[in-house]
Amino acid sequence: MSATSALAAELVAVCGEPHVFWRPEDVVVFEYDAGFDRRPPTAVVVPGTAAEVAACVRAARRAGLAVVPRGAGTGLSGGTIACGDALVISTSRLRRILEIDPVSRVAVVEPGVPNLAISEEARAHGLFFAPDPASQRVSSIGGNIGTNAGGPHALRYGSIVNHVLGVEVALPSGELATFGGPAPDLPGYDCVPLIVGSEGTLGIVTKAWLRLLPIAEDVRTFLALFHDVRAGASAASAIIARGIVPAAMEMLDRTTIRAVNEAFDVRLSEEAGSLLLVELEGLREETAAAAEDIVRICEAAGAFGIQVAADAARRDLLWKARKLGYPALARIKPNSYIHDAVVPRSKLPDVLDQVNRVAGRYGFIVANMFHIGDGNLHPLLLFDARTDPIERVMKASGEILKVAIDAGGTLSGEHGIGIEKNHFMFWVYGPEDLEAMQRARMAFDPEGGMNPGKVFPGGDACASIPTERIKKALAEGLWI
């Protein structure tokens, strides 16, 4: 019996035969996420309980295999790629909402629960879960926690880290441990913010206590149309400078506007070079006053049309267009490469100009659709993988990332680092910073067997992946 089949037999004993995959034809669908990196795992197991997750971690450790956690597979940074011939442990069967406590405003959920399902369950109690990534219909809460996901409404409410009260984690040792919980102000070190955003390098989340918020009394959603991207970006900066913090403020450029019109019949003005989608939430008096100020600011910045969503149906259609804008762009080109760098709001107009120049120099169409309120850029390079070499796409993408860093920005606002941007980490952090982070990681995982090759530059766990070698060369060549 081979080592792989022996491990498979042990995993079958824990989780049952239908939930263990190790033959090449069975694991091929687990070799990628929503990005471009690919590598097949040694095996895949889909536990049904936290105890089974822990037992699978222990089995992998006995077999000398690394472990890669996987949720819904919607990640964009290669965080679930099985570097180092790892065992993939999927949490997709842990899909229970265990409790909604309307008094404490806490939801207790398993990691495989889709993000949007939490708000749908809490709505009956007048509550909702604020973080809302564009993939919220399908992305699971475990992956959201791993990448510290955000979404349009992070502008007002913050990212996942601001809404996770506690986590139960299967540690690299195979033990289950709980950090934080529903009770506030627990004594001792607060490890929850360290685990949130750690991208599965510290363990596998098996349960989470999440903060719920009351549904706002009033919601106002409107569009402001501008002749170009610079005018829209200037208006967004002016709104924040005025001291107004909308619940969300998104920008779509002309390329994106045309794509969503064709896909969803939203009937947005295609004369606009950019569009601001602004949503206000709060007390009626608060939203009414802020709406008047925003209209004046947008008009002063050159807005030629401001439209208010007349009802919930129109509001839902506008957000559908925004959150499903990425697949709509496939009408232009079948593939896209996206980054999520963050830049200071004051630098947005100049950065967007430079992003468009980089794309033009390489001959790519670029679509800009992003969280402009907090400077979280999402430029999409549109291309056809059948004819456009991925090396050229990555080179253009690397230059765009460098534009953001040179403007005083950072690598990621919500997608995570994974293996997509790990070699670029030294653009932002010095050796001492990276060493301190590694020490924190090693406190949880001294053997380095949990999601190897992710987040940090260097190492050879993922060296055999062709796209990884390309990105490493780009990071070293562009940083001059």
Q: Specify the pLDDT at position 2.
A: 75
**CA–CA separation, 348 and 377 (whole Å):** 9
CA angle, 68 then 69 then 74, to 5°: 110
Query: What pLDDT, in 10s, does the model give residues 172-218?
Result: 999 999 999 998 778 889 999 999 999 999 999 999 999 999 999 99
Cβ-based neighbours of 452, under 8 Å, separated by 6 or more:
66, 83, 84, 86, 459, 461, 462
SS3 416: coil
Is residue 407, in this structure, part of any structural domain at all? no
The tokens for 324 are 């499903």
Residue that terminates a domain, selected from 186, 214, 242: 214
204 and 225 together in one domain: no
For residue 291, give Cα distances in angstroms to 152, 215, 224, 294, 372.
18, 19, 12, 5, 18
121 and 75 together in one domain: no
Return the minimum-mean-pLDDT range out of 213-217, 306-310, 393-397, 439-443: 306-310
Is residue 403, in this structure, part of any structural domain at all? no
Residue that terminates a domain, selected from 155, 185, 214: 214
Is residue 348, in this structure, part of any structural domain at all? no
Q: Specify the pLDDT at position 186.
A: 81
Is residue 383, in this structure, part of any structural domain at all? no
CATH number, position 70: 3.30.43.10
207 and 119 together in one domain: yes
**CA–CA separation, 319 and 308 (whole Å):** 13
Would you tell me how many other CB atoms lie within 10 Å of the CB of residue 385?
A: 14
Return the minimum-mean-pLDDT range out of 17-26, 134-143, 185-194, 406-415: 185-194
What is the extent of the structural domain holding 48?
A: 3-90
Q: Specify the pLDDT at position 308.
A: 87
24 and 73 together in one domain: yes
183 and 102 together in one domain: yes
CATH number, position 226: 3.30.70.2190
Global pTM reads: 0.95
Question: How does 427-443 read in b/e, with b if 16+ C-beta sit within 10 Å?
Answer: bebeeeebeebeeebee
Return the H-helix or E-strand segment holding 89: strand 87-90
Is residue 354, in this structure, part of any structural domain at all? no
191 and 299 together in one domain: no
Number of domains in the chain: 3
As a whole number, mean pLDDT of residues 3-11 equals: 90
Q: Specify the pLDDT at position 304.
A: 93
Q: What interhelical angle do 390-406 and 466-478 show, nearest 10? A: 40
Q: Specify the pLDDT at position 480.
A: 62
Quickly state the pLDDT bin for 358 (edges 50, 70, 90).
Answer: very high
Instruction: Give me the chain's average pLDDT, please.
Output: 94
168 and 85 together in one domain: no
116 and 197 together in one domain: yes
Q: Specify the pLDDT at position 232.
A: 92
84 and 112 together in one domain: no
Cβ-based neighbours of 268, under 8 Å, separated by 6 or more:
223, 252, 257, 260, 261, 275, 321
Residue that terminates a domain, selected from 328, 362, 390: 328
As a whole number, mean pLDDT of residues 320-327 equals: 84
For residue 70, give Cα distances in angstroms to 110, 146, 443, 467.
13, 10, 22, 20
Quickly state the pLDDT bin for 60 (edges 50, 70, 90).
Answer: very high
CATH number, position 178: 3.30.465.10
CA angle, 151 then 338 then 470, to 5°: 135
Is residue 55, in this structure, part of any structural domain at all? yes
Q: Specify the pLDDT at position 264.
A: 86
Q: Specify the pLDDT at position 392.
A: 94
**CA–CA separation, 46 and 34 (whole Å):** 20
Q: Is the pLDDT of residue 1 over 70?
A: no
278 and 299 together in one domain: yes
- The amino acid that residue 437 corresponds to is M
Q: Specify the pLDDT at position 184.
A: 77
Is residue 405, in this structure, part of any structural domain at all? no
Query: What pLDDT, in 10s, does the model give residues 421-467?
Result: 999 999 999 999 999 999 999 999 999 999 999 999 987 889 889 88
Is residue 145, in this structure, part of any structural domain at all? yes
As a whole number, mean pLDDT of residues 145-170 equals: 96
121 and 190 together in one domain: yes
104 and 78 together in one domain: no
Q: Is the pLDDT of residue 413 over 80?
A: yes
